[in-house]
Amino acid sequence: MMLDMTRDVVIVGGGIAGLSAAWRLRRHDVLLLEAGDRLGGRMRSDPCGDYWLNYGAHLFPAPGTLVDRITQELALETVPVTGGMMGLAVDGAVLEGGRVESYPFRLPLSVRERVAFARAGLKVQLAVRRYHAAPNRYEFENDRTFAEFLGPLPPKVREIFACAARRATGELDELAAGAGIGLFALVWAGKGSLIARNLRGGTGQLPAALGQVLGERARTSSPVDAVRPDGDHLVVRAGDEEIRARHVIMAANAPFAAPLVGPVAPQAADALAKLTYGAFLSVAVETNETSAMPYDGVYAIATPGRTFDMFTNQAHALRVGPRQPGGSLMLFTGAQKAAALMRESDEVIAERFLADLHAMYPETRGRIAKATVRRWPLGNVYASPGRGALQPALEGALGTHENLHLAGDYFAELGTMEAAAQTGMAAAERVEARIREVTHV
């Protein structure tokens, strides 16, 4: 094996956490190693004529956030989500907006189901207020599942809440109550939400632009096999190459990070191994309509009882001025439901998703140009009961020489783009401070 020169920092993982760290440290001797053939992790999209196809992360944070600042520095543009984000489709009824408190009375439910839905919704609303005031969200309602918090529900009402929970890639009996409540807090914030913007051109534009700036300092198809101590440095092994580094920022998903950090920080490795991830399955749909569609003013609709759990209108950002032909949708599901569907072929998955799309919006029949399936076995991290106890082992500079730093969306009770980017930035700032101490710069 060839031992490379000593670098200031090696970053393992090219998702938004690793890319944010590399962006902060770009004026230092930094090397980012990504196992996959592209940067960005679940931030993936393809251009599609005047539109774009999003396959994973699609909601960007508000102006003034870290991701927004990086986006602006790269001369990219985010636009606000103006379409409804809290739609709900049950059986043949599609509610595209309105006060959520009215939903139990506008859906085709029995009296028993209406009462149960209204009571559970009120319970969640009251808990959201406590969530916003909680000083430590890792510990908030972290001792029971979301299913236990909600209590017994009629099957149709339970499926409505399960559909929402799968957005976080966890089932009701897997997701911690605090994480489930936090999910509703995020969605109910509406246009003032932290996640109420889209990137014009598609989510993948951001990692592509970061990669272009980083150039050869960001390598793809470079899986890391091991990290070991070497005096007061760390050695990163990637294939036949060994790279010595003063610091390592581990920004890979927790299941991949755990065995790598074990030789340096065993307690952190144990905590990482206990973090929970769920699957995410999406179908991006290019449409070729030539006139307005009934969902033009809508962004997102929850779809309990269908093959997919969420309908999203990715073309809504361009629905200003004269209505242009064509469009872009993303349909997705998560958690165990997604994992089970992944056993099917792409053709079967697309066929089932499109059949439910046509049942929901018959106007889409004969208007499908292309449907592309994307599978994310580690779709997102979510907090399960007891997650709060793992936090202390993950924080700060780790290892005997305090030169191993963790970054990733698992630092939040719900994995989001901004949460991941913030942890990458925090790790980079610690590294930069240590470099300045040593060099007195």
CATH of the domain at 147: 3.90.660.10
Which pLDDT belongs to residue 415? 74
DSSP state of 316: G
Residue 265 β-bridge partners: none
- Residue 58 included in any domain: no
Mean pLDDT estimate for the chain: 93
Q: What is the spatial distance between Cα 118 and Cα 264, in angstroms, rounded to a whole number?
A: 51
Domain count, the chain: 2
Task: Residue 30: name the closest of 233, 252, 265, 243 by CA.
Answer: 243
Which pLDDT belongs to residue 62? 86
Within a 13 Å sphere around the CA of 272, how many CA atoms are in the beta-carbon half?
A: 25
Which pLDDT belongs to residue 321? 84
Beta carbons within 8 Å of 302's beta carbon, 6+ residues apart: 86, 87, 88, 89, 160, 163, 164, 309, 310
Which pLDDT belongs to residue 3? 56
Retrieve residue 245's tokens. 């580094």
- What are the Cα distances from residue 389, in Å, to 126, 272, 385, 393, 419? 25, 12, 9, 9, 19
Residue 2 binned pLDDT confidence (cut-offs 50, 70, 90): low
* Together in a domain, 414 and 375: no
φ, ψ for residue 344, nearest 5 deg? -90, 165
Domain-terminating residue out of 382, 400, 424: 382
Residue 348 has pLDDT above 90, yes or no: yes
- Residue 243 included in any domain: yes
Domain-terminating residue out of 382, 399, 422: 382
* Together in a domain, 206 and 343: no
Residue 256 binned pLDDT confidence (cut-offs 50, 70, 90): very high
* Together in a domain, 181 and 295: yes
Of all residues in the chain, the percent with pLDDT exceeding 90 is 83
- What are the Cα distances from residue 368, in Å, to 234, 286, 353? 52, 6, 12
Q: Answer yes or no: is 298 a known binding residue.
A: no
Q: What is the spatial distance between Cα 315 and Cα 326, in angstroms, rounded to a whole number?
A: 9
* Together in a domain, 405 and 267: yes
Retrieve residue 231's tokens. 């005096």
H/E stretch holding 368 reads strand 368-382
Domain-terminating residue out of 382, 399, 415: 382
* Together in a domain, 363 and 406: no
- The amino acid sitting at 238 is A
Q: Answer yes or no: is 140 a known binding residue.
A: no
* Together in a domain, 331 and 300: yes
- Residue 60 included in any domain: no
| CATH code for the domain in which residue 246 is found | 3.50.50.60
Within a 13 Å sphere around the CA of 27, how many CA atoms are in the beta-carbon half?
A: 6
- Residue 75 included in any domain: no
- Residue 175 included in any domain: yes
Retrieve residue 427's tokens. 């790790």
- Residue 53 included in any domain: no
- Residue 133 included in any domain: yes
Residue 112 binned pLDDT confidence (cut-offs 50, 70, 90): very high
* Together in a domain, 187 and 210: no
Rounded average pLDDT over 76-85: 87
Which pLDDT belongs to residue 185? 87
* Together in a domain, 226 and 368: no
Residue 224 binned pLDDT confidence (cut-offs 50, 70, 90): very high
Do residues 206 and 441 make contact, with C-beta atoms less than 8 angstroms apart? no
Which pLDDT belongs to residue 428? 98
Q: What angle do CA 275, 281, 330 make, to 5 degrees?
A: 125
Print the domain residue range for 360. Answer: 80-198+277-382
Q: What is the spatial distance between Cα 13 and Cα 424, in angstroms, rounded to a whole number?
A: 11
Q: What is the pLDDT of residues 13-42, one digit of tens each?
A: 999 999 999 999 999 999 999 999 999 999
Rounded average pLDDT over 205-220: 97
* Together in a domain, 299 and 358: yes
Of all residues in the chain, the percent with pLDDT exceeding 70 is 97
Q: What angle do CA 87, 195, 89 make, to 5 degrees?
A: 10
pTM of structure? 0.94
Residue 192 has pLDDT above 50, yes or no: no
- Residue 423 included in any domain: yes
* Together in a domain, 128 and 142: yes
Which pLDDT belongs to residue 81? 85
Q: Answer yes or no: is 35 a known binding residue.
A: yes
Retrieve residue 365's tokens. 């029949």
* Together in a domain, 87 and 183: yes
* Together in a domain, 160 and 85: yes
Which pLDDT belongs to residue 414? 75
Residue of higher predicted confidence among 4 and 253:
253
Do residues 108 and 92 make contact, with C-beta atoms less than 8 angstroms apart? yes
SS3 318: helix
Which pLDDT belongs to residue 437? 84
Retrieve residue 341's tokens. 């569907």
